[in-house]
Structure 1
């Protein structure tokens, strides 16, 4: 029997895969986080003018939601391609799509210049961002995890999970520098554009990393054995529905919690006694600590049952908002930073093992499609509507209690997904890698 094409990679290839996964998702979440911050800070005035500040904020968060609603399209299109033509090729396409859309937002004239065309184009570019992110996540997770040891999947798959806090850290860091060095007038006029235009440099770096890397050993083994699916979407819905439902539900609580401590806190804090700089400092500190917390949580679940750690963290995330809002009611910057940091630490304990948990719900030949669908569908139910719901609930009731209850319910839903899911089956990967090389069948039509 000949040696499989997808032999175990050397340490250098494994590190390159980890960096490629981390750098790409960091870039794309930088793009996404820049938009989220701008939606809270400047977009209501620049693209959605109106006499009612609440309406402007709701409209800006509506375009935030578009980036989530469009994700399933990316999951369907790019997830299917990832199981058919490979992880690497799809990841290059998604990187270019998100980076290009973000760069164009930085050049977009405002409502005062081109009228209603400005918000329309903004929504379309936001839609393109969401499509790219929808196809990116599944491939980035597989890129690092399928190069790594299945017994350490929690750690290696966390590379893609570091992307959101890393992107949030970069975006809020850039915005913090801009807001500290520019007047409010200068920031609203042109300063915010700098953060978007910087994505051009980040795209170039991300492409350089990904183009140098070959596809994953698992996909190459699947390809060599002629085991690629012809209709992966149909097959997932027909044969792996339970895994799909478990993956979707498990993401909702973490998504809602993250939206609270990185998006809603910006508008809530600046209307409850804190300056823009203080709130950005809190989110920046929390994101920095997540860079360590997320891979540590992933590694922890390689030693302790993944679903148990995930579930305990979800309970903590459900309770914490009821502590957080009273903590910051006195206007203390220290309490604000502590509250955001603890909230994001609970998120790290959920988010670190999340990638491994979701891809383990699907067989290797359907992983890109299944995990992309779970990720994107959950994004609509969780992260897309959360900032809108938080703003509407707080505006209607004038209280943080409905917001905290919303988070708690979302976390209960995620616990249901963890109960429904399965533990890892490492033999699935090992079976592909252990089989001998065979002649691949003809390329399926894309």
Structure 2
């Protein structure tokens, strides 16, 4: 039985056929493996962010008070973003030397068991200062795992995909992140609706963390059943680098910096819309927790739909043009976002969060293919993951951390100006880096990449 291009991996130009005469693995199977892993990774990452907004200030930083406790809680969220670049280098090293499959199994297990331990963690009321210290340690482990996951999952899809639909197939890891936002917020919503506030604070918040063990089992089964990518198999035949991190910075330093700048806007929108506004809605706007979480679920739906749309459009109009359009719209939207939210109505909140997440999704969709196409095979895992993780630190960690103090001191509009500046930086970077969609992933390792 033959496979159509949409359902089967076509070996990249010059790549060897599957070993032993086997048929290429189904793109649906490849997409599922990429998707399920990032669902697990970002479900685990997302529930921590939601808990940091809702209960961690009280449970782990009670002595600091409401405002300082919230800042400290989001600081622990930020610790993972600081750890992510190190995870990208660590797991990227093994991903570029040993293969995508083995490394992705390791990142998934590390994230899953770190998250499970968060759900079992005693609070400050039980073990005192050791509680926040241990939470930070587990958050570092989550960050290391997340740093190695997204880039590897993206490469597993992109290095198997036919060029004409590389944007579409490469978006499945990001699509998994959108579904994870829905799942994490839905789990917290169910606990918020199904139990009293005291019960939720006492033990209900642990349920989403403990439930992750089910996803770990499913993800491990799926990833063990897949094969290595044909592009990496070809690289093994020609030889792998011993120092992928050093090779990446020696060969494509400008591309790493510009790719980081391009991605920063996307992650800033994601973590403001998906994490910070959950806290803002409950503490500043005084909306009920079930209402805020219901809107957050809508935000997850919005980013998921937009991710698919943005990826599909990038196969038609190009990665650079798609991200450029979103950046231009985002400059305007971030300036009006907080004035809209500060009307303090649920309707305004129900517009602000999904629109922010939709814009993020439109830019997220092309990113998997865009970053894969930018870098060469011998250090692609390291460079892709590092660019994404550095952008996560700049866009995902810093804006939520500074949002509270900036808004308290100067108002939401000033913080919107900061977000607009982030969008402008991404716009400049994506215009400089050049179009990538026509590039072959297994092109001559000494050949040119995107023009800079």
TM-score with structure 2 length normalisation? 0.91
Deviates more, 1:9-18 or 1:199-208: 9-18
Larger CA deviation: 261-270 vs 185-194: 261-270
Instruction: Please provide the CA RMSD for this pair.
Output: 1.9
Residue 227 of structure 1 deviates from its aligned partner by 2.8
Shift of 1:321: 2.6
**Mapped contact 1:9–1:147 kept (Cα < 8 A):** no
Partner residue in 2 for 1:293: 306
Displacement of 1:73: 1.1
Q: Contact 1:232/1:366 (CA < 8 Å) preserved in 2?
A: yes
CA distance in 1, matches of 2:293, 2:268: 19
1:195 matched to 2:208: yes
The question of 1:120 aligning with 2:141 is answered: no
Residue 199 (structure 1) shift: 0.9
Q: Are the counterparts in 2 of residues 6 and 216 from structure 1 also a CA contact under 8 Å?
A: no
Aligned-pair distance for 1:426? Answer: 4.4
Residue 149 in structure 1 maps to residue 150 in structure 2? no
Corresponding position of 2:448: none
Question: Residue 384 in 1 paired to residue 397 in 2?
Answer: yes
Asked if structure 2 preserves the Cα contact closer than 8 Å seen for 1:322 and 1:401, the reply is yes
Q: Does 1:337 align with 2:356?
A: no
Q: Which residue of 2 aligns with 1:437?
A: none
Deviation larger for 131-140 or 282-291:
282-291
Are the structure 2 counterparts of residues 430 and 93 from structure 1 closer, same or farther at C-alpha, using a change threshold of 3 Å?
closer
Segment drifting more, 58-67 vs 376-385: 376-385
* Larger deviation, residues 176-185 vs 351-360: 351-360
Deviation sequence 1:345-366 (CA, Å, 0-9, x none):
1111111111211122111222
Q: Does 1:265 align with 2:265?
A: no
**Structure 2, unaligned stretches of length 5 or more?**
1-13, 445-452
Q: What TM-score results when the alignment is normalised by the length of structure 1?
A: 0.93
Distance 1:425 1:280 in 2: 37
Task: Confirm or deny: 8 A CA contact 2:407 2:414 kept in the other structure.
Answer: yes
Q: How many Å apart are 1:166 and its aligned residue?
A: 1.1
Q: 2:234 is matched with which residue: 217, 221, 237?
A: 221
CA distance in 1, matches of 2:379, 2:109: 24
Q: Of 256, 280, 287, which aligns to 1:244?
A: 256
Does the CA contact (< 8 Å) of 2:96 and 2:378 recur in 1?
Answer: yes
Is the counterpart of residue 23 in structure 1 residue 33 in structure 2?
A: no
In structure 2, how many angstroms separate the alpha carbons of the residues matched to 1:11 and 1:220? 13
| 2:91 aligned partner | 78
Match of 2:376 in 1: 363
Shift of 1:281: 1.1
Structure 1: stretches of 5+ with no match in the other structure: 433-446
**Residue 325 (str. 1) matches residue 338 (str. 2):** yes
Aligned equivalent of 2:3: none
CA distance in 2, matches of 1:365, 1:151: 23
Three-state SS of the structure 2 residue aligned to 1:385 is: helix
More off after superposition, 358-367 vs 192-201:
358-367
The whole-number CA distance in structure 1 between the counterparts of 2:50 and 2:69 is 14
> RCO (CA 8 Å, sep 6+): is it higher in 1 or 2?
1
Residue 57 (structure 1) aligns with: 70
Q: Cα distance 1:281–1:10, how it changes in 2: closer, same or farther (>3 A)?
A: farther
Residues 111/424 of structure 1: CA separation in 2 closer, same or farther (3 Å cut): same
CA displacement at 1:6 relative to structure 2: 4.8
1:129: Cα distance to partner?
Answer: 0.1
Are 1:40 and 2:53 matched, yes or no?
yes
- Residue aligning to 1:411: 423
Measured against aligned partners, the alpha-carbon deviations of 1:152-190 in whole angstroms (never above 9, x if no partner) come to: 111111011112211111000000000011111000000
Moved more, 381-390 or 208-217: 381-390
Q: How many residues align?
A: 430
Give the whole-Å Cα distance in 1 for the aligned partners of 2:278 and 2:368. 27
Alignment partner of 1:177 is 2:190: yes
Question: Retained in 2: the 8 A contact 1:105–1:125?
Answer: yes
Whether the aligned pair in 1 keeps the contact of 2:259 and 2:387 (CA below 8 Å) is: yes
SS in 2 for 1:373: helix
Equivalents in 2 of 1:335, 1:294: separation in Å? 23
Residue 292 of structure 1, CA deviation? 2.2
The change in CA–CA distance for 1:303 and 1:254 in structure 2 (over 3 A counts) is same
